[in-house]
Structure 1
Amino acid sequence: MDSLIDSTNHISSSINEMVEYRALKGHIHSVGFQPDECLIPFLELVGFGSAALIRTFNLRYNLISALVEQWRPKTHTFHLPCRECTITLEDVALQLELPIDGSTVTGVSLISRPARLCYDLLGRLPSEGNFQTLKFSWPKANFEYLPSTATELEVMQAARTYIMHLIGGVLMPDTHGSEVHLMWMPHTVAVVGSLSDAILGIH
């Protein structure tokens, strides 16, 4: 097992002495807009209420850099003076209140007839693109606000879009950081499919 890095050469020494040092730079992934108020009860019912509260925030890149230097690839853990630790799926579930029991969920690498799938599940199509991904600006432009006369189907389509954006754009984003892949869309059907009963129960 690797030992802890010598504290005299650690990045935290530079931080404490307030001198120039090498710091990692990161990219903050966020949905970029809040869900329409009429979606909140339904997002809560399907377990995405807390995840929908994720907002953009500032990161302390110097502290992140110091933490990364304690990461050990061989054990996939952080080696800290207090103990060895890592982030677990349970930690994420406790913070976001997302269910983690059940079958494993994975994306698919290829979707046949993506334009048809997009229209069937979301009710509309982007004006440009290859329909394998959606730009982050598209859900905001089309689903940020819903009319007071929105039907149950329109509410479900907006909920599917927001959940897909949360999964592919915030919880498990790719390296591009500006698009969400449609591979997450089929999984929203099972999640949001129960919204019809939920809507009837609320009304």
Structure 2
Amino acid sequence: MSSLPSPLIENYLKEAGFWHAVTIGRGCKLDSKLIIPLIERWRPETHAFHLPCRECTITLEDVQLQLESPVDGVALTESVQSADWRAICYHLLGAIPDNIYGGRIEMGWLQDTFPEPGNDSTELKRIRYARAYILEMI
């Protein structure tokens, strides 16, 4: 996402637990001279960084603390391949894309169908825009 979302949906993103994910990296300058050596020390076979002092890994708790994301609640553990995606899209977004590929929708469709809401927009329109924003972010 290239810019912060409209202030009109900020509360919806906070309520959904996505506000911190939206603001990650805002105002941060990435320095490739610092990132490249870290990437070179990553070992995919152990899922850890091998540093001169010792091995270091990133845990789910580390991610949760950095993102300030909620980790309590119901987890999705079962397959949803047999879901009626058209009905789900209509229920959550109020619109149905022409093409749904096994639960996938095109980002262009989201952007075209859900323009940023104006000050005169209804609460329902703002909620649907917030949901589309989260889908695009994911």
TM-score higher than 0.5 here?
A: yes
Among all aligned residue pairs of Structure 1 and Structure 2, give the percentage whose two residues are the same amino acid. 40
Provide, for residues 76-111 of structure 1, a one-character-per-residue CA deviation record: whole Å limited to 9, x for no partner: 211101221111212222222111123433574514
Match of 1:134, SS state, is coil
Q: Give 2:21's aligned residue.
A: 51
Q: Give 2:114's aligned residue.
A: 143
| 2:132 matches 1:161 | yes
> More deviation in 85-94 or 52-61?
52-61
Match of 1:112, SS state, is coil
How many residues are paired up? 136
| 2:123 matches 1:123 | no
Match of 2:95, SS state, is coil
Provide, for residues 115-138 of structure 1, a one-character-per-residue CA deviation record: whole Å limited to 9, x for no partner: 222112101123x42353122233
**TM score, norm. by length of structure 2:** 0.74
Q: What residue ranges of structure 2 are gaps of 5+ in the alignment?
A: none
Aligned counterpart in structure 2 of residue 71 of structure 1, from 18, 42, 50: 42
**TM score, norm. by length of structure 1:** 0.54
| 2:59 matches 1:94 | no
Q: Quote the RMSD (CA, aligned, Å).
A: 2.9
CA contact (8 A) 2:42 2:48 kept: yes
Higher relative contact order (CA 8 A, sep 6+): 2
Q: Which has the larger radius of gyration?
A: 1
| 2:65 matches 1:82 | no
- Counterparts of 1:148 and 1:113 in 2: how far apart (Å)? 33
- Counterparts of 1:145 and 1:37 in 2: how far apart (Å)? 10
CA contact (8 A) 1:77 1:85 kept: yes
